[in-house]
Amino acid sequence: MISLKNKLILAAVVSAVNVVCRKIKIRRKRKVVRKRMNVKVHFETLLQEHEFRVYYRMSQSAFENLLSLIAPVYLKEKPRRYPDQITLRNKLQMTISWLAGGTYHTLRCLSGISRSSFYRIVHAIMDTIIITPELKLTFPTKNNEQACKIVGGFESISDRGILSGCIGAIDGWLCKIISPSSKSVGDVKSFFSGHYHRYGINVQICCDHMYWFTAFTVNTSGSRGDSMAFQFWRLNDELKKLNRPYYVVGDSAYTLSPTVMTPFTKRDLQNPHTVAERDNYNFFLSQLRIRIEMAIGILVNKWRVFKTPIHFDISKCHKIITSTIRLHNYVINHKIIEKKGHFNPEHEEWKYFRHITEVQIKMIQVIPMKKMKIRLR
């Protein structure tokens, strides 16, 4: 038998619990009902305004082809569970828009998802792009046909084909990041670049004559120079295994070797007896080396997520760099396909690059002689 006192205590406890539960229900946030953007109408609007390529950095046919490439890989890794789940087309357009410089808040509001869902989707799409076999980078170490094509392309760029045997142009690019946490990296100071006075990752990249990236590495901290980063790059060992006398071209930050050609420095040009020949060599070398400068410029200006320091963990920074490099190659490949499968230097988009080459060719017989006369005086 329960006494009257215990009954009163139990009734008081039950009433107190009911009051607390009511307050919790009142304070609990109501479920947010979000409206999702109609991707089909959105695409049709951009096509009518001729702004699709500006918004997504590629044509509609390239977007649809990319969607068909990553769909089998994505559905294999993450099968669709619910019929009303956000479509893969919407996920891809969110990722491309964010990498192109869009803000996460605007994109998630248009897609009708939360902040956590947005970043989960973006990283899942980037993982899919990285593991898609059709988007894989290939360096011509074992493919003789590809190597001959690249060598011929660089030889056509070089005035009168003076420099032959070049299989790529290399350079370092500091990808800006925020100060990494001590938990994610062992030495935080190693990611601070004293030259640029900011934190970053030293990305070593190699490209061919068509601005197509053939190799890269993101395993070097920002404090290391290009010469040291190249020594830890697997490409350095691959070049030594080549049977033919192929080489890559780089700037003066790299060390001269049988597989890496670098320009003469200002100190090397002090001798008046050899200044003309060495200056001419620097010019011919710069005709090939400028390709990697242009390729990195195209990458950073097309994917504007790199315009500001990346606010993510180091591992996720690597993911962003890798996915954008693969997308860079994909866009170039699709442009070549749209131009009937070959590089047309007379096309409107390539006039700027052709203009630079023509100006350099016209100045080749003037600049070295002027420099030589000034130094002889």
Q: Is beta strand 166-176 parallel, antiparallel or unpaired with respect to 247-249?
A: parallel
pLDDT of residue 32: 65
Query: Residue 125 half-sphere exposure, CB side, CA atoms within 13 Å?
Result: 24
Could you give the CA distance from residue 99 to residue 122 in angstroms, rounded to a whole number? 9
Only one residue has tokens 């901290």, namely 221
The pLDDT value recorded for residue 373 is: 31
Of the candidates 89, 38, 97, the one whose C-alpha atom is nearest the C-alpha of residue 68 is 89
Residue 129 · residue 121 · CB < 8 Å: no
Look at the pTM and tell me if it is higher than 0.85: no
Per-residue model confidence (pLDDT) at position 315: 85
Q: Which two tokens stand for residue 276?
A: 């003309």
Among residues 327, 321, 316, 337, which one has the least CA distance to residue 70?
327
Name residue 357's amino acid.
T
Report domain extents, the chain. Answer: 39-135, 144-376
Distances (CA, A) of 101 to 253, 300, 311: 31, 10, 13
Contacts of 140 (CB under 8 A, 6+ apart): 146, 147, 150, 167, 214
- What are the counts of helices (DSSP H) followed by strands (DSSP E) for the chain? 14, 6
Residue among 264, 260, 262, 261 at smallest CA distance from 274: 264
Q: At what angle do helices 275-302 and 351-363 cross, to 10 degrees?
A: 170
Please provide residue 214's backbone torsions phi and psi, each rounded to the nearest 5 degrees.
-105, -20
Give the type of residue at 157. Answer: I
Mean pLDDT (10-residue bins), the chain, 377 residues:
66 71 57 75 90 91 93 75 73 94 88 88 94 90 81 89 90 92 84 90 93 92 89 86 83 89 88 87 92 94 93 90 96 81 43 37 34 29
